[in-house]
A = this chain, B = another copy of it.
């Protein structure tokens, strides 16, 4: 049976990946392409997709409700989601429409599940919610590596420093980086910046998203808030420094963790082995470790540089993770939520 799917915000970096991820799971969702929606500005455009050329339709909440979709993916602003996400969960025919929202609008609402399907898929049924929030990219990528460790060794503390790609600011962010690099190699030492607060080429910017009262940015606090909600615990202390670096679409993170139980690098390797969505690449003597370039376009999160902590000794580990920001950090995670709903119900 085929699923009826809509992608709202289909022209953005995440929207484009959503369509590709659906196509890669035709065996689950069926051969029919998703319907593509965007703002009036993009309506009528034709997009090249793996399904062939598809035409963009202007978003209108009533149009979508009338279509009785099984799944609506929102790759839009938080404000747009706040206005439309809940109305879209009901439709004309009364069948369930799951709305999977990539914005942060509903992530911290107690009644809305925040889901990494490999970790807490059950929270959707537990909350009996048709609106499902997709996590922040940095959180989702780290969670793939950390949850198996948490299950076996119980996490107490997480110190995270991020190396985040331009794609976190969407297609315009990637374009600004590429054009800025072009200008820089042609002799302009401080190329123009509109998307980022400072020029990103040959720079790194230690501030992402808005400043909070405690001096951390919202991007940094998201990791703490969301990790706890996804893992279902308040007992982990999380501190993050979120830094934008001149990479295109894969985020990396240096993580120091403290556990309740004794832990070792070999125990981490053993514990991650065979876990879905995560792969250990840890042979530094042969220059094998997670890299943004090799993780770009790949579904799995890569984990490497696994070593005993010099701070927390036998109860601590340092490691490095890397994952595609547009895939596990956004589109793939959302589509895997839908896949789990289709295959498990």
Contacts and interface: CB of A to CB of B under 8 A. Distances in A.
Contacts of A310: 214, 216, 224, 237-239
A239 B258 CA distance: 13
Interface string A114-137: 000000000000000000000000
Greatest chain B CB density within 10 A among A161, A243, A291, A306 is at A161
Interface stretch (A24-32, A35-43, A44-52, A177-185): A177-185
Contact of A307 (B203, B216, B311, B318): B216
Interface in A279-325: 284-285, 287, 289-293, 304-311, 318, 320
B246 A215 contact: no
A285 B203 contact: no
A247 interface: yes
A239 B181 CA distance: 33
Contact of A203 (B206, B291, B308): B291
Interface residues of A, number: 58
Interface of chain A: mostly helix, strand, loop or mixed:
mixed
Nearest to A224: B310
Given A237-B311, A284-B207, A305-B241, A248 B292 contact: no
Nearest to A320: B206
Given A206-B320, A304-B206, A185 B190 contact: no
A246 to B, nearest CB: 5
A251 B216 CA distance: 22
Nearest to A217: B284
A248 B201 CA distance: 10
Given A252-B206, A287-B197, A215 B308 contact: yes
Contact of A247 (B197, B203, B293, B308): B203
A182 B265 CA distance: 39
Interface string A198-214: 11011111110001001
A245 interface: yes
Contacts of A306: 215
Contacts of A169: none
A163 interface: yes
5 contacts: A189-B293, A202-B246, A214-B307, A215-B308, A241-B318
Interface of A: 157, 159, 161, 163, 178, 181-182, 184-185, 189-190, 197-199, 201-207, 211, 214-217, 224, 237-239, 241, 243, 245-248, 252, 254, 256, 265, 284-285, 287, 289-293, 304-311, 318, 320
Given A161-B241, A207-B289, 8 more contacts: A157-B311, A189-B293, A202-B247, A206-B290, A224-B310, A239-B311, A243-B252, A245-B245
